[in-house]
Amino acid sequence: MRIRERHVDGNTVNTLVEVWVPYGSCSNPTGWQLAPQYNITGSFVDITSEEEFGDVLVPNFEKRRDHGETFCNPMYRTFTQTVKTPIYQTDTNEGWVTLDCGGTLTEVLRNTSSRAIGTRSPDELVGSYPATPSLDENVIRDIAVTAAWANVSEADVNAYATLAESGKTVQSFLSITGRIIRLALQLSRGNLRAVWKTFTPKQLESHWMEGRYAIRPLLYDIKGVTAAIKAVDRPERYTYRGSDSATATNSQVLSSMSVAGRYRVYGRFDTSRMITARAGVLAALEEISTINRWGLDQPLEALWELVPASFIWDWFLNVGKVLASWTPNLGIRTLASWVTVENTVSMTKCIDHVEDLFVWQSYTSERSLEFSGGNCSTQTSVRTRLCHPARPLMPHMSVRLDAAKLLDLVILAKKLV
């Protein structure tokens, strides 16, 4: 295993805040003047990145590769990048109204030079990040591995399931054809009332389900049978792939005192995690026979497809994929298998707004306070490759829903009720 490291720094940003405030006493209101009260200086690096990469060095790799040898070596890469943008602050006073000790108005002083301007480091947003969301990396990896192995045994058509459902398929095809003919006759006769009856909400639900689970499977079967008859040659080597991913976020709103207690900065702190797994199986196709093309070597998959509502279970559990992944692959020799997992954690601080807490009892003022920028984000990505991962024996929760499937569930639920 060889390990390489790299560290890169961006630009150094100098920060400065000048705060000018009036000074004087309540007994001498006309003596109010403007003077600098305090300065804040500092610096930070706007972008930093660190990378560590480890892999296995194969002696005589090119020569051995050219002779047909296959390699699958573990590797890892850790990359962390931190990006900071300074807080830009502008504070101007448009007028001072001074009062004597008794609260009597004595003088109005117009002044626009009282200011607090400059840049500040986003690190002034004190506070800890919320807990990083947890995701089960093992489950995500197993789902991707299962999907890749299931694709190895994928056939053009599953003859067992097609033959078992042929009676229902023919019956559905004849029923649909007959209704289309009747609809055409009614339109030609101008019988709009009869036509309208075929488009009631209940009929539309029935047509939708019929199209999804009668017409569409029939078209897929026709396509598969055509491919099996053509017997198109496949490449000698092929990589079968599978993938899965998951994302979780966590947020909280925090406030912090800054600049000698004069301002309260309200910030939003976010953390997120994203895990992506990509699996592959490299196989040599030695002989693809009629048994493979017609799915005659997949009895377990056929039995699962014939289980009532098995397709709904597959929306939530990868049962069908697990069965397919353990199907014997006749005529296919596995050369290598692997899974690459990328685990990315992002943490961000940003300013929402700023509250001015500076209050004098002896005057009121019209002031404008603006803050911008001040974001601070850190992202760490860890990528690892595992060779020859074990194939899972048990199914995992794998929710695969879209708008069409959600509509299917609603229609099925109405029928059950």
63 with 71: CB under 8 angstroms? Answer: no
Would the pLDDT of 116 be above 50? yes
- pTM for the full predicted model: 0.75
Q: Identify the pLDDT of residue 5.
A: 93
281 with 148: CB under 8 angstroms? Answer: yes
55 with 92: CB under 8 angstroms? Answer: no
357 with 346: CB under 8 angstroms? Answer: no
**Residue ranges making up the domain that contains 69:** 2-416
What are the residues facing 284 on neighbouring strands? 237, 333
Would the pLDDT of 379 be above 50? yes
240: enclosing H helix or E strand: strand 237-258
**Neighbour count for residue 319 (Cβ, 10 Å):** 17
Q: Identify the pLDDT of residue 308.
A: 84
Maximum average pLDDT range among 20-24, 123-127, 261-265, 318-322: 318-322
Per-residue pLDDT tens digits for 285-337:
776 666 666 767 778 788 888 888 888 889 999 998 998 888 877 778 888 99
16 with 43: CB under 8 angstroms? Answer: no
Integer Cα distance of 244 and 139 in angstroms: 9
Domain count, the chain: 1
Task: State the residue for tokens 């994203």.
Answer: 274
